[in-house]
A and B are shown apart, each in its own frame.
Chain A
Amino acid sequence: MAQVIAAKTRPTSAPWKRRNSRNILLVTLASVLPAAVAAAVTVLLGLDGAIGLLVLFVPLQLIASVGIGGYLFKKRGRQDAALIVFTVFFTVLVAVLLSSVLVAVFEAGLRMMRWSFISQNATYISPTTSLDYGGLGHAVLGSILVVGFTTLVTVPLGIGVAIYLTESRASGRNFIRSLIQSMSGLPSVVSGLFIYSAMIVTHWSGQSGITGSLALMPLMLPTVARVCEEALRLVPTDLRSAALGLGAPNYRMFLQVVLPAAKSGIVTAVLLGVARIIGETAPLLLTVNPSAGTNLNIFAGQIETLPTYLFGNLSLSTDYSVQRAWGAALIVLFLVLIIFTLTRAIGGNKQLKTPKKRK
């Protein structure tokens, strides 16, 4: 005779039944209450904000979340709560660090912003001269020239490497790809040392804008090549086959079909390359001789760039020069943000960039 055994309902079964209003209220409380308690205690005891956050809020939040999670869903609730708390904590930590950088630069930099700071150069300016005189106009011009020349040299090279990696069937592609990959981790100071030892110590050239440009090249090349390769890889093979099938030679196929299709990706590659090197300091410190005056000739003479201006003023470490350094940091940050926005605007369709696995 069959005996019916009533199965005991497990506490974790039917989790959807647990989404009722009481439980949702509990979860909400668990996420709000610790913050409130921690804030109150911090203010009442007059603790340091960061310490209060770390020593008080995080453990409280952890205890509350894990407690409620465990009460509602037993073991899995506890584990999930801990995972979420840690994930959010680390994310917020990174966000706080980043916004601290941005706020500090904007706060100190905006105090420095005035027309004379952008338009004038630093001739006759000593570390103690009033902030109303002198500026970094010469450094902005120098940076544009040096980075511009690097871009002129590097972009064709980078695109060439990308074409080699995507269009040709050569056997060395894997090696070149990993070489480019590891070049992207080339320490910037080594790149500066290279040009220093190859051109300046050997007296081929004095320290000038051009040596700075060349020192930036190995840093920019991998970025341009890699992003370009991604862009070319996104062009469908069918387009290429169609062009070749109609009888086009490879180079016309590339120039008239692939290149127009990958245009925005290539512009993004150039922009990202510029963003990579615009604040690069170490190679320029070794290869460029900073000046106080404006110099538009990158082939000879001293030339100032934004990063070296920042570094120089910071090294002087008087109140005024540090102020100027913050101003320069704001300008650099501003340029980076412009490039950043441009790349977002151009490469807006992010879905294209990460091909999802097709079923």
Chain B
Amino acid sequence: MPVETKPAPQRRRLTVKPTLLGDRIFFGITTGTAYFSIVLVVLVLIFLMIRAWPAFQHEGIGFITGSKWDDSVQPMIMQIFPMLYGSILLAILGVILAVPMAIALAYLIEFLAPKPIARVVTLLVDLLAALPSVVIGLWGLFVFSPVAEGWAKLLNHYLGWLPLFANTSGNFSRSPFIAGWIVAVMIVPIITSVTREIFSQMDRDLINAAKALGGSMASTFTKVILPTASGGIVGGTLLGLGRALGETVAIFFVLNLSFDINWADLTEARGGSIASMILGKLGNASDYERSGLMAAGVVLFITTLLINFLAGYIVNRAQPWRK
């Protein structure tokens, strides 16, 4: 009896690419939106660069390293070093004030407080994150500034021999000291949330082991929790630093911008911030000055983008369990 042999079914081609038309459209659209985000960042850079080119071309490297902004000469001189330095000073000041607060909050939420209190504190931090910067600016101008001025005067009175708190002008308002506090208030939530995330995903066995070996709360904190979470904390701090550099409106109200460079006299009413300078000057700028402000925007954009990329990389490295 002849056996009817069916030809073996053709081996299906294994593929990870979508084959159906519907799937192709679906993934096509989503890929398109994802690439759009790349296009967006590139577009930001291109448009700012086109407008900023005249200023870059004319000022050269002096745009970043010089410290003179003079519109009485033709063509005007635009150099932003005091603003750049001021931004960085404020960001560092904010980070120094915010990191202890953030670590304390994260530790309290994850390890110290009973659940109901931890939930309330979490709510507080989330609420602080949701406050718009213009509201913080309003509060900073009318409520916080007078208080912080008092603090600055005290610091100057008792620690005035330190160059950090020296004040020759006798004017304590609108100083980097006050603006640094405002920046700290703005960046505490982001650092806290990153630190908390790392704390909550930490291996509990590690902590229990430390306790079983006789570690106290303090030694567990300094010898186990902090070293294990250090990557995440550094990443969160960098994210905070990026936010601090870009803070605009809140600083605009509480800081006196000055091109007379202020190295570290925290309580003097002279400071700098690129973002606030752009906001303050763009309204009545000439064409050429506008290009200088765009150039300042480019510097700000590239700085924050790099810091954020680095921060994201460090945070991801600190959570190897996340793909």
Contacts and interface: CB of A to CB of B under 8 A. Distances in A.
A250 B26 contact: yes
A250 B23 contact: yes
Nearest to B282: A286
B10 interface: no
A194 B44 contact: yes
B246 A104 contact: no
Range of interface residues on A (Cβ < 8 Å): 35 or more
Given A48-B150, A98-B124, A275-B130, A160 B48 contact: no
A88 B134 contact: no
A187 B275 contact: yes
Interface in A236-257: 249-252, 254
A161 B27 CA distance: 11
Most chain A CB inside 10 Å of its own CB: which residue of B105, B130, B132, B311:
B132
Contact of A176 (B38, B50, B217): B38
Give 5 closest A-B pairs by Cβ, nearest first. A279-B132, A187-B246, A160-B33, A79-B218, A182-B308
B300 A164 contact: no
B192 to A, nearest CB: 8
Contacts of A188: 133, 246, 248
A269 interface: no
A76 B185 CA distance: 33
Contacts of A50: 147, 150-151
B133 A279 contact: yes
B313 A197 contact: no
Contacts of B43: 194, 198
Contact of A104 (B22, B142, B294): B142
Contacts, number: 260
A262 B80 CA distance: 48
A332 interface: yes
Given A76-B218, A160-B33, A310 B138 contact: yes
B305 A182 contact: yes
B309 A178 contact: yes
Interface stretch (A1-9, A166-174, A293-301): A166-174
A76 to B, nearest CB: 4
Contacts of A180: 37
B141 interface: yes
B135 A101 contact: yes
A91 B132 contact: no
21 contacts: A83-B221, A87-B107, A87-B112, A88-B108, A94-B105, A97-B185, A101-B139, A101-B143, A160-B32, A160-B34, A187-B248, A188-B246, A191-B44, A194-B43, A197-B48, A252-B22, A279-B134, A282-B248, A311-B249, A336-B132, A354-B201
A84 interface: yes
Given A51-B150, A178-B316, A190-B301, 15 more contacts: A79-B218, A95-B121, A101-B131, A105-B139, A164-B33, A170-B34, A182-B309, A188-B248, A189-B279, A193-B294, A218-B44, A250-B18, A280-B133, A307-B134, A354-B197
A26 interface: no
Contacts of B279: 189, 282, 285-286
B20 A190 contact: no
A189 B135 contact: no
B193 to A, nearest CB: 11
Interface stretch (B62-70, B71-79, B166-174, B237-245): B237-245
A98 B304 CA distance: 26
B219 A332 contact: no
Interface in A81-111: 82-84, 86-91, 93-95, 97-98, 100-101, 104-105
A101 B132 CA distance: 11
A357 B203 contact: yes
Interface in B259-295: 275, 278-279, 282, 290, 293-294
A122 B6 CA distance: 85
B157 to A, nearest CB: 12
Contacts of B141: 314
A225 B221 CA distance: 34
Nearest to B111: A87
Range of interface residues on B (Cβ < 8 Å): 35 or more
A71 B245 CA distance: 47
Contact of A332 (B38, B132, B275): B132
Interface stretch (A57-65, A123-131, A321-329): A321-329
Contacts of B209: none
A88 B217 CA distance: 14
Given A87-B104, A91-B104, A80 B218 contact: yes
A279 B297 CA distance: 21
B65 to A, nearest CB: 21
A254 B23 CA distance: 10
Contact of B135 (A80, A105, A190): A105
A161 B33 contact: yes
A165 interface: yes
Contacts of A332: 132, 134-135
B69 to A, nearest CB: 18
Interface in B168-226: 185, 188, 197, 200-201, 203-204, 216-219, 221
A155 B41 CA distance: 18
A310 B250 CA distance: 12
A136 to B, nearest CB: 14
A156 interface: yes
A163 to B, nearest CB: 4
Contacts of B221: 83
A200 B258 CA distance: 29
A144 B112 CA distance: 42
A281 B34 contact: no
Most chain B CB inside 10 Å of its own CB: which residue of A50, A254, A280, A282:
A282
Nearest to B34: A164
A333 interface: yes
Contacts of B132: 278-281, 307, 332, 336
B246 A186 contact: yes
A86 B217 CA distance: 13
Contacts of A79: 216-219
Nearest to B190: A185
A118 to B, nearest CB: 18
